[in-house]
């Protein structure tokens, strides 16, 4: 028994649903009940420190976020943080695009990527806003569905001009959730590789905190959280 642990999570507050992520993190921590989560903002390079145990890269527009990272010299510090030992990162939507090694449908002239996950991601895979949707997803990792209080092995996903993973290019990438398409094909909408997690949907827009708990548990497992 380790007692209560304290972890520091940084949320990249450049653009997008960062406030929603902070609220979900706090709620998830309360539900887990033996962990204290300090949530801090990341708006400039000095906010990316080794004191952080986890970083969330929220959704928003991947072009706007990547341009901001480049112009504020945050790209390299963030990339080396993500690759650092024991550091856990989660990208939602635009965050999934930023973490991917390859992206299709980028803006003209390309955009910054952190080049971390062995995935090929298609930007706006499902189309424009008119095609944005909600759907129940099949979750394929038992860790996500075996938690107490879990009533379903489905997760209600909210997809806003969302990307999807077309292909994984390494066996290290573990698929966590898929979506079945009308033509009977299946696309990957959540995956994990080592300490990196990505979802193309937005758990922070729902009441369901399973993904945030999952992320916190990834942090607890891999990092040197502080025992108090």
Partner 1 sequence: MSQTVNGSTENGINVTNLVTSPETVVKTGTFKVKAGLAQMAKGGIIMDVTTPEEAVIAEEAGACAVMALERVPADIRRDGGVARMTDPKKIRGIIKAVTIPVMAKSRIGHFAEAQILESLGVDMIDESEVLTPADEVNHIDKHPFKVPFVCGARDLGEALRRIAEGAAMIRTKGEAGTGDVSEAVKHARTINKQIQIAKSLDAIEIYNYAKELRVPVDLLKKTAELGRLPVVNFAAGGLATPADVSLLMQLGVDGVFVGSGIFKSSNPPKRARAMAQAVTHYKEPAILADLSEDLGDAMFGVPVKKQGAVPSGAPDQQKIWNATLGDPSQWVKNNA
Catalytic residue among 20, 47, 93, 198: 93
Q: Does the footprint of partner 1 cover residue 128 (CB under 8 A)?
A: yes
Is residue 150 annotated as a catalytic residue, yes or no? Answer: no
CB of 149 to partner 1, least distance (A): 13
160 is in an annotated binding site: yes
Distance CA 148, CA 214 (A): 12
The radius of gyration of the chain's CA atoms, rounded to the nearest angstrom, is 16
Range in contact with partner 1 (rule: CB under 8 A) among 2-10, 78-86, 127-135, 209-217: 127-135
Nearest CA-CA partner of 119 in 62, 52, 172, 57: 172
Instruction: Examine the residue annotation and report whether 105 is marked as an active-site residue of this protein.
Output: no
Site string for partner 1, 74-103 (x = CB under 8 A): -------------------x----------
Instruction: At 73, list the tokens.
Output: 């010299």
Distance separating alpha carbons of residues 102 and 169, to the nearest angstrom: 10
Q: How far apart are CA 179 and CA 135, in angstroms?
A: 8
Which range in 31-39, 141-149, 157-165, 192-200 contacts partner 1 by CB under 8 A? Answer: 157-165
CB atoms within 10 A of CB 208: 17
The Cα angle at residue 211 between residues 39 and 125, in degrees rounded to 5: 110
Q: Report in angstroms how near the CB of residue 74 gets to partner 1 at its nearest.
A: 11
Chain centre distance of CA 31 = 20
Residue 46 interacting with partner 1 (CB under 8 A): no
Residues annotated within a binding site for L-glutamine:
60-62, 123, 160-161
Residues with catalytic function? 93, 202, 204
Residues annotated within a binding site:
60-62, 123, 160-161
């Amino acid at each position: 028994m380790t007692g209560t642990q304290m972890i520091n999570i940084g949320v990249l507050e450049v653009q997008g649903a960062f406030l929603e992520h902070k609220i979900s993190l706090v709620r998830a921590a309360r539900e887990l009940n033996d962990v204290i989560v300090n949530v801090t903002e990341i708006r400039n390079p000095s906010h990316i420190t080794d004191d952080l145990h986890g970083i969330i890269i929220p959704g928003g527009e991947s072009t706007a976020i990547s341009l901001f990272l480049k112009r504020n010299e945050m790209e390299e510090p963030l990339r080396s943080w993500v690759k650092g030992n024991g550091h856990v990162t989660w990208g939602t939507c635009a965050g999934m695009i930023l973490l991917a090694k390859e992206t299709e449908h980028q803006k003209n002239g390309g955009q910054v990527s952190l080049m971390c996950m062995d995935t090929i991601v298609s930007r706006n895979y499902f189309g424009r806003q008119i095609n944005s949707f909600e759907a129940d997803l099949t979750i394929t990792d038992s860790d996500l569905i075996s938690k107490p209080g879990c009533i379903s092995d489905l997760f209600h996903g909210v997809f806003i001009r969302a990307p999807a993973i077309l292909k994984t290019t390494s066996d290290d990438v573990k698929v966590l959730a898929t979506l079945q398409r009308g033509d009977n094909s299946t696309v990957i909408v959540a995956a994990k590789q080592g300490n990196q997690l990505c979802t193309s949907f937005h758990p922070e827009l729902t009441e369901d905190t399973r993904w945030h708990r999952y992320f916190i548990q990834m942090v607890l497992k891999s990092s040197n959280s502080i025992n108090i």
